[in-house]
Every structure is written in C-alpha cells, then in structure tokens.
Amino acid sequence: MAEQYIVGVGAVIASLLGFLFLYCNSLTKFRGLRKLKRAATPKGNSVNKTGNSEGVGTTDIIIVGAGVAGAALEFLLERDGRRVQVIERDLNTPNRIVGEVLLPGGYIKLIELGLEDCVDEIDAQQFLGYSLYKNGKETPISYPMEKFQSHISGRTSHNGRFVQRLRKKAASLHNVTLEQGTVTSLIEENGIVKGVHYKNESGQVLTAYAPLTIVCDSCFSNLRRSLCYPKVDIPSYLVALTLTNCSLPKKNYGAIILAHPSPIIWYPISSTEIRCMVNVPSEKVPSVSNGDMACYLKTLVAPKVFPEVYNSFISAIEKKGNIRIMPTKIMAAAPHLTPGALLIGDALNMRHPITGGGMTVALSDVVILRDLLRPLHDLSDAFTISKYLESFYTLRKPMSSTINILANVLQKVFSASSNPAMENMQHTFLGYLRLGGVFSYGISAMLFGLCPRPLSIAFHFFAIAIYGIGRLLLPFPSPKRLWDGAEFLWVKYSNILPYIYSERIRQTFFPLTVPAYYRAPPENEDKKNFMH
C-alpha cells in the first residue's frame, strides 16, 4: 500500500506538471511568433565548391545510402512519381550486428509505407517485448497488444536480409537508378548543394546532379560534417555472438540480464539463431586478437547467462571469428540549413542501441519526409524548399526524442556500477515497472514506439523520482535516508538532464513555439502571405 500511495502522489504531481506544459504550448499557439533568422551555414571538409554548374540532369532527387532509411525512401519517392538516383557504397548483403530489432511502432510505420511484406520470407521472428532479469528475478516490459490487430508486433531478423528485401523492392521500380559507388563530396555552387561527386565500382570519378540531395549514409557517414554539427559520444562497445541450438526463457521475447560488470542482451534473429550482445564500457574493452575478450566472456559473463543457453554460449565464444565488436554511438540531431541537401537516419541522429529503436526512428523519419515532399511539384528553388523542409527537424521530434532519451538513459540505468546511488536507481526503475498498469505500460509504450510523446517521459521520470524518494525515506526519514534521497535525486537528474537538453527542449517539449512547425508548402505559403 505504501508503494501505491507514493506513486499515486507522484502521478498527481507529474500530471499537473504535464498539464502545465500543455497549457503553455496552447498559449504560444495564439501568440505572435518571431521570424526565424537565417543562420549562417558553415561548410565542412566534404563540400566541393565550384563556380561552374554543368546543369542538373534528369534526376529529381539523389539519395546517398541504401540502408533501411535510404531504401525505404527511394521506393516511396519513385511511387510518388519522382526520378531517383541512389548511390550506395556496397550493394552486397550487409553483415551488421545492429539494426536487427524492429519495434512494434516501427512495424506500424512499415505498414504506413506499404513495405510490411519486406519482413516476409527472411525468417523474421515476432517480437513482443523484453524481460529484465536481476538476481534471478524477472521484470517484464511488454505492451497490451490486444489493442492492436493480431499481426501488429515487432520483428527481429538479420539486418542484411531485411535491407536486401527493401532494396529489391525499390530497384524493381522504373524511375529508380540504384548503383554501387562511394560519394566523396557534395557539389556546392553559391551556397547551394547541386549534387555529388562519387567513385563507382571501377574507381572512376563521376558526378551526379539533382535539385535535392538526401544523405542517409549510416552511422559511418563521411558527409555529415557538411550538413550538421556532429558531436559523437561512444559510451560503450557491443560484443556480439551468434548462438545456435538453444532457446530463450520466453518465446517471442528478448531478454536483458542486469549483471555486473555488463548488461547482457538477448533476442532471436531467426528460427535457429539467437543474438547475444554484451554491453562493455568503452574504457574496459579487452582485445579479441590476443584472447583477452574470450577470457572476459568465459570468466565474467558466462556465469551470469541463463542455464539453458550456457553450453551454446561457450561454444559461440570458441567458434573462430564469431566474436564481433562494434562501438555504440550517441549523437543528438544538430543540423544546419543547407539549401539543396537534407540529412536523415543515423547520419543525422544516433542513440544507444540497447533498446533497438534505431530502425523505428529511421522509418518514422521516412514517413514524415514523404509527407512533406508530396505536395512539392518543383524542387528547383533550393532556398525556399530548404526553409520549408526545416519543419522536418521539429516534426520528427516526438518519435525520435522519445526513443532517444529512453535508450540513452536506460543504458546508464542498466549499466549501474558499484555506485550505490546508481544501483538504487536501477532497483527503483525495476520496482516502478513491477507496479504494472499505467506505470509499466506507459514506459513500454514509449519504449516500443507506440506512444511517441516526450511529455509522457516528463510524467514518468517525475513519478519515478517520487517513487524512489519514497522507497528511501520510508518508514521514517532519518538523516541518513534524507542524504541517500538527495544523492539519488542528484545522480538521477545528472544522468537524465543532459540527454533531455541535447534533444533541444524547445523543439521537443514546446514545438508550437518553433516557427518552422507552421511551415506550409511553398505554393500554400505564397497564397497565405497574399491573403494576409
């Protein structure tokens, strides 16, 4: 009863806070908005400036990169009548250890795009949620999917198989040119991006021109410095193994073991394979080549795994070439307006992959961009189009900020070290989820991309703080408990607030105060100005 009372009080206070946010938003809608000043556009090293344009060819849009975002976008743009040229550095089947989880919210976006059949025939597995395990105790994170049709759920699969299905579907269309090549730089003339320089498979340097270039060349983008202010953080590395001849405790559910020194993530990637990811802090990554990583996995990680997968885990470690390592990258979206070019996908924005939200954000971006581009019949006025498309960076915030903040904060919580305050934060979060009802389902709905509302994050973070303080102070607030409570709040908000701030508070929580939010297509904008 005490826990329910604490959370009830926290819910009331957090609800009032959320109402205040919404009220302020509604007021700003009716107040005058200052005109957006044109920002200076700094140029990066990957922009090739030229004073002579060879003229735009017959392509409407160039897409750099044919991963999940690029392949989905090329299909949609061609279907809308655009002539699209796609340049991808490697058209072979990708062999990646991330991009394997499509959350339920991402699958809904796939349906919106008419691409849901791309998860067929690749041995994709239904994904209904995660189970968290701490000291042998299970805490489920699942959403009541009975509110949706039976086929609505997440999917897990080999990333390469999914990407190839998307590419194949896009390449089957008549107005798409899909070719292998490495884009080396953007072509700029008088402050406008006119196209790209790229090398084809034979090493020949070629040039492509189009009124609009969309860059989505993955987390390894070599063009992002020309289009945004990148600040990449690498908090940890993912050590990946592929296990066979075993199964997880719950079918269709992933699992996260919260263990010291590293959390361990599990999910199926086919009917016969399970992906195991060990999240290792950046400063403590052992070497694979000299055998230190194998020793680390066997001595420190293996004792923490499920008994039913232990033998397969050891076999996977001993299998040659089966240990793969990839840095986790966190990068908030910080674009600058560049006429003639737009940045989307992981090239623009990355979050910790521990919750598997990357593809869901990418597909949500594609839906928004598709809707923004549809009413545009003429892309030749680069400055006007760029100003209009600036709204993309605000419209994407509900989904991207919700998933980004949760992923980045949860990797901190799940990686709780020997610090008592961090450990207490982890126990508080698990206790909050075990309350069930609106508390558990509220977190899982946001986590799975089904409730992309940043204000809901504010509500739950505030309620969790009240719940955590209550756990520490009851049954009597002694001086030590008061100190522990203050330390808990300090650690909690010092870990959370930087991620919230990096998402740009105004765009995330007060989008109605952003002038770009109201941008109409150029034709409609001219008509509106004439009427006023």
Quick: pLDDT tens for 303-343: 999 999 999 999 999 999 899 999 999 999 999 999 999 99
pLDDT of 512 strictly over 80: yes
Poorest-pLDDT segment among 222-231, 311-320, 365-374, 414-423? 414-423
Residue 474: pLDDT band by 50, 70, 90 thresholds? Answer: confident
Contact of 132 with 266, CB cutoff 8 Å: no
Tens digits of residue pLDDT in 65-116 = 999 999 999 999 999 999 999 999 999 999 989 899 999 999 999 999 999 9
DSSP-derived letter for residue 60 is S
pLDDT of 176 strictly over 90: no
Specify the CATH number for 61-128+153-232+333-397+513-517; select among 3.40.50.720, 3.40.50.10860, 3.40.640.10, 3.50.50.60.
3.50.50.60
Residue keyed to tokens 């680390």 = 296
Type of residue found at 344: I
The residues, any chain, with a CB within 8 Å of residue 429's CB and separated by 6 or more, are 413, 464
Distances (CA, A) of 142 to 154, 342, 381: 11, 35, 47
Name the pTM for this structure.
Answer: 0.87
pLDDT of 29 strictly over 70: no
Position 473 scores a pLDDT of 87
The residue among 109 and 38 whose pLDDT is bigger is 109
Q: Give the tokens for residue 184.
A: 């080396």
Distance between CA 331 and CA 447 in Å, rounded? Answer: 19
Q: Using DSSP, state whether 250 is helix, strand or coil.
A: coil
Poorest-pLDDT segment among 193-207, 355-369, 512-526? 512-526
Type of residue found at 338: T
Position 48 scores a pLDDT of 55
If one counts every other C-beta atom within 10 angstroms of the C-beta of residue 38, the result is: 9
Residue (of 374, 512, 467, 320) closest to 10 by Cα position: 467
Domain segments of the chain as ranges: 61-128+153-232+333-397+513-517, 234-330, 404-511
Position 36 scores a pLDDT of 27
Residue keyed to tokens 């002539």 = 83
Position 524 scores a pLDDT of 55
- Judging by beta carbons within 10 Å of its beta carbon (0-12, 13-18, 19+), is residue 227 exposed, middle or buried? buried
Distances (CA, A) of 291 to 125, 297, 312, 318, 322: 33, 10, 19, 10, 13
The residue among 46 and 206 whose pLDDT is bigger is 206
Residue 9: pLDDT band by 50, 70, 90 thresholds? Answer: very low
Q: Give the tokens for residue 264.
A: 């361990």
61-128+153-232+333-397+513-517 matches 234-330 in fold: no
pLDDT of 373 strictly over 60: yes
Position 42 scores a pLDDT of 36
Q: What is the mean pLDDT of residues 109-126?
A: 95
pLDDT of 199 strictly over 60: yes
Domain 234-330 matching CATH 3.30.70: the answer reads: yes
- Averaged confidence pLDDT in the chain: 85
Q: Give the dihedral of Cα atoms 474, 479, 480, 485; nearest 10 deg.
A: 60
Residue 417: pLDDT band by 50, 70, 90 thresholds? Answer: low
Position 418 scores a pLDDT of 67
Q: Which helix (H) or strand (E) holds 15?
A: helix 2-29
Q: What is the mean pLDDT of residues 286-311?
A: 94
Distance between CA 515 and CA 39 in Å, rounded? Answer: 14
If one counts every other C-beta atom within 10 angstroms of the C-beta of residue 304, the result is: 16
How much of the chain exceeds pLDDT 90, in percent? 65
Task: Provide DSSP, 340-409.
Answer: TEEE-GGGT-B--GGG--HHHHHHHHHHHHHHHHTT-S----HHHHHHHHTTHHHHTHHHHHHHHHHHHH
If one counts every other C-beta atom within 10 angstroms of the C-beta of residue 420, the result is: 13
Q: What is the mean pLDDT of residues 14-42?
A: 36
pLDDT of 420 strictly over 90: no
Tens digits of residue pLDDT in 477-487 = 888 888 888 88
